Amino acid sequence: MSDTNERRHSGARAPAREPATHEHRPSRGGPHPEVRAQRASRDGRPPQDDGVHGSRVPSRRSGPGTTSRYLDLVLLFVFLIAAWQALYAAVGEVALTPPLVTLRNAGALLASPVFWRHLEATADAFAVSLVITAIGGVAAGLALGFHRFSGLVSEPILTAVYTLPKVTLYPLVLLVFGLGISAKIAFGVMHGIIPVILITMNAVRNIDPVHLKTARGLNLTPLQTAATVLAPAVTPEIFTGLRVGFSLTLLGVIIGEMFASQRGLGFMIINGMNTHDVPTMMAVILLIVAFAVAAGTLLLAADRRLHRGAREAGI
C-alpha cells in the first residue's frame, strides 16, 4: 500500500523548471539601440537616434519628394521654353519673338517711363477691383451660407451667370460705365466676385455641426462663437476663394483694358496687335505672366499652409 502511494506521488511530481534566461529578442523596428551604438562605434560612425521603438522620424527640410518637385518645375520650364522656340521657328517674327529677344525687350520696357504710366493705370484699377471682389464676395458668401434657403436658391443662378462669356456683356458695360477706369473695374469684379461668393458659401455650409453644438453647450455668445469657432473653420476656404478671385480679377481688368480703355497693360497689348508691334506686345505679355505666376505661387503656398494648420488643429 505504501509502495503504491509512493509510486502515485512520484508519477504526479511536476518536472523541475529550467532557469530563466534573459535572452534579448530584437524588436520589429530593428536592433536594440545599444547594439546599433556598438556597431556604429566599431565602424567609426556616430550613433544615430532613430526615435521611439526604432522608428525613423522623417525630416521636413529636404527629401526625395522636394528634390523631385524642383526637378519637375525645372523640366516644365525647359519644356515651355523649347515649345516657345519651336513655335517661333514655325511661324516666324510675324506673330512671335524668340524667348531671349522677348526677355531683352521686357528689360528695355521696364526702363521706359511710358510703361510705368500704363502699369500705374492697371494697378489702380486692379486694386479697386480686388477690394470690391474680396469684401463683396466674402460678405455675400457668408450671408448666403448662413441663410441656407437663400443659398440653395442663389447657387444655381450664380453658377449659370458665371458660365456666360463676359465679353458678350461688353456693350452693356460700355453703356453703363463708359470708357475709363470704371469699365475696367466692372470687368474685374464681374470675373472675380462670383467664385469668391460660391467658395465662401460652401465653406460656411461645411462647418462641422459638432463645433456649433459645443459652442452652444459652453454658452458662448454669438460674437465668441464667431471668433473662436466660425472664423477658424472658414478662414482657409475663404482664402482659397480670394486666391482664385485674385487671378480672375486680374484677368478681367486686363480684358477690360483691351476693350474699354485708352491706358493700361491691356491697352498696350491690343495696341501692339493693331499696329503690328509684336516685340512690345510679347514683352508686355511676358511681364504679366511673370507677375501672375509669382503672385499665384505665393498665394498657393500660403493657402496650403492655412489648410495644413487647420488639419493639425482638427478643424
Extract the C-alpha cell encoding 144: 448666403
Q: Given the C-alpha cell 484699377, which residue does it identify? A: 125
- Give the pLDDT score at 315: 63
- Give the pLDDT score at 65: 63
Given a cut of 80, is residue 30 above it in pLDDT? no
User: Could you read off the pLDDT of 112-157 as tens digits, one per residue?
Assistant: 999 999 999 999 999 999 999 999 999 999 899 888 888 889 999 9
Number of domains within the chain: 1
Given a cut of 50, is residue 19 above it in pLDDT? no
Q: Given the C-alpha cell 519673338, which residue does it identify? A: 97
The mean per-residue pLDDT over the stretch 263-291 comes to 91
- Give the pLDDT score at 121: 93
- Give the pLDDT score at 58: 46
Given a cut of 90, is residue 228 above it in pLDDT? no
Given a cut of 70, is residue 4 above it in pLDDT? no
**Does the residue 30 lie in any domain?**
no
User: Could you read off the pLDDT of 48-68 as tens digits, one per residue?
Assistant: 544 444 444 444 455 566 777
- CATH assignment at residue 195: 1.10.3720.10
- Give the pLDDT score at 217: 84
* Lowest-pLDDT range of 101-115, 148-162, 222-236: 222-236
Q: How far apart are CA 109 and CA 115, in angstroms?
A: 6
**Does the residue 22 lie in any domain?**
no
- Give the pLDDT score at 64: 61
**Does the residue 19 lie in any domain?**
no
**Does the residue 92 lie in any domain?**
no
Question: Of 262, 257, 80, which Cα lies nearest the Cα of 184?
Answer: 257
Residue 109 DSSP class: H
pLDDT confidence tier of residue 171, bands split at 50, 70 and 90: confident
- Cα dist. 245→113, 183, 226, 285 in Å? 30, 18, 24, 20
**Does the residue 126 lie in any domain?**
yes
- Give the pLDDT score at 5: 47
Given a cut of 70, is residue 21 above it in pLDDT? no
The mean per-residue pLDDT over the stretch 206-211 comes to 81
**Does the residue 242 lie in any domain?**
yes
SS3 call for 232 = helix
* Lowest-pLDDT range of 74-88, 95-109, 214-228, 250-264: 214-228
pTM of the model: 0.73
Residue 94 DSSP class: G
**Does the residue 291 lie in any domain?**
yes
Given a cut of 60, is residue 183 above it in pLDDT? yes
pLDDT confidence tier of residue 286, bands split at 50, 70 and 90: very high
**Does the residue 28 lie in any domain?**
no
Sign (positive/negative) of CA torsion 265, 266, 272, 278?
A: positive
Pick the more confident residue, 235 or 54. Answer: 235
- Give the pLDDT score at 18: 47
**How large is the angle between the packed helices 181-205 and 170-177, nearest 10 degrees?**
120
Pick the more confident residue, 191 or 1. Answer: 191
Structural domain harbouring 198: 108-312
